[in-house]
Structure 1
Amino acid sequence: MQEQLDERGQELDRERRGLLRIGLAEVYNPSMVPTLNPGDHLVVRYGAPVRPGDVVVMKHPFRQDLLIVKRAVERRESGWWVMGDNPLVENDSREFGTVPDEFVVARAWVRLRRPPGRGQRSAAALLSWVASALRPVRSSARSAPSERSLSRRLRAR
């Protein structure tokens, strides 16, 4: 118990001194399409406060050694209700219920799109990739995946 208190105390000291805990995470599955695609990387902030609509990296409730990326939809009494942006993938709170706060590891801050495939690249294609490769991961105020409009889906690609 004392070890956890010391560890948390160190985190608070770093935050007070302005040293943010930042990391990199890779997206492997399509549960967050169209917002995030497999192969995208996320710059994440460990221990950052989470608000509804934020994209978070969390421990899977049934396999704590597995990290997954989901959107925090709403705060409930027992934790966070999380969902993927892809309505066809149900590996989220619809399957495993609310997620305890201690399972939320980090909040996504910036998405780094993977570079285009190897081979011939035109200057225009490379410039287009550079312009879209680095984007902030914005919060979404959506309540259910089916309520997204077509224009929202097209803008997120």
Structure 2
Amino acid sequence: MPEQVADGRERGHARGLRRVGLAEVYNPSMEPTLLPGDQLLVVYGSRVHAGDVVVVRHPFQHDLLIVKRAAERRDGGWWVLGDNPRVRNDSREFGIVPDELVLARAYLRLRSPRGTQRSVSSALRWSAGAVRPLVRLSGRSRSSLSRRLRAR
């Protein structure tokens, strides 16, 4: 099943400023970096570099928005991959994503609380990791970054 994002909370932009919005992750293709239910703070029209997490229109289903990692620039667009190697809904399946279908770059992950925070210590642990910047993967393997994120 393709990964979908909800993008209904977009903010207007003033002259010279980019539009900012929230997108929600629905599927596991970006695990362990992003989990279903995570919110992303995205900036539309941002410059994309290899390693960035991006929101793109699916090349074959233009009404479907998906979250992927921009792996590398290729002739005519971006090769995008999910961080979860078991889910293949990415460029391995649909090829290069043209530049005009790359909509936004994600800057922050906002993790929603899973279940009720029953103690002060569990609430503090959740709040420490609830907001996290999304880092670029230039020059690093995806698995080493995933291990680093899980260790925090």
Q: TM-score, normalised by structure 2?
A: 0.84
- Separation in structure 2 between the aligned mates of residue 139 and residue 89 of structure 1, nearest angstrom: 21
* Selected match of 1:27 from 25, 28, 47: 25
* Selected match of 2:122 from 91, 115, 125: 125
Alignment match, 2:64: 66
- Separation in structure 1 between the aligned mates of residue 127 and residue 106 of structure 2, nearest angstrom: 20
Alignment match, 2:112: 114
Secondary structure (helix, strand or coil) at the match of 1:64 reads coil
Alignment match, 1:7: none
Q: Deviations over 1:110-150 (max 9, x none)?
A: 000111313x61000001111100000111126875xx24x
- Separation in structure 2 between the aligned mates of residue 92 and residue 116 of structure 1, nearest angstrom: 27
- Separation in structure 1 between the aligned mates of residue 87 and residue 114 of structure 2, nearest angstrom: 25
| Paired letter, 2:149 | A
- Figure out how many residues of one structure are paired with residues of the other and give that number: 138
- Separation in structure 2 between the aligned mates of residue 130 and residue 103 of structure 1, nearest angstrom: 34
* Selected match of 1:46 from 40, 44, 47: 44
* Selected match of 2:137 from 120, 140, 143: 140
- Aligned residues of 1:58 and 1:105 also touching (Cα < 8 A): yes
Deviation at 1:38, TM superposition (A): 0.5
The 1:71–1:142 alpha-carbon spacing in structure 2 relative to 1, beyond 3 Å, is: farther
- Separation in structure 2 between the aligned mates of residue 35 and residue 112 of structure 1, nearest angstrom: 11
Identity %: 61
Mark the structure with the bigger radius of gyration.
Answer: 1
Secondary structure (helix, strand or coil) at the match of 1:14 reads coil
Q: Which runs of 5+ in 1 are unaligned?
A: 1-10
Q: TM-score, normalised by structure 1?
A: 0.82
Alignment match, 2:97: 99
- Separation in structure 2 between the aligned mates of residue 41 and residue 68 of structure 1, nearest angstrom: 13
Higher relative helix content: 1
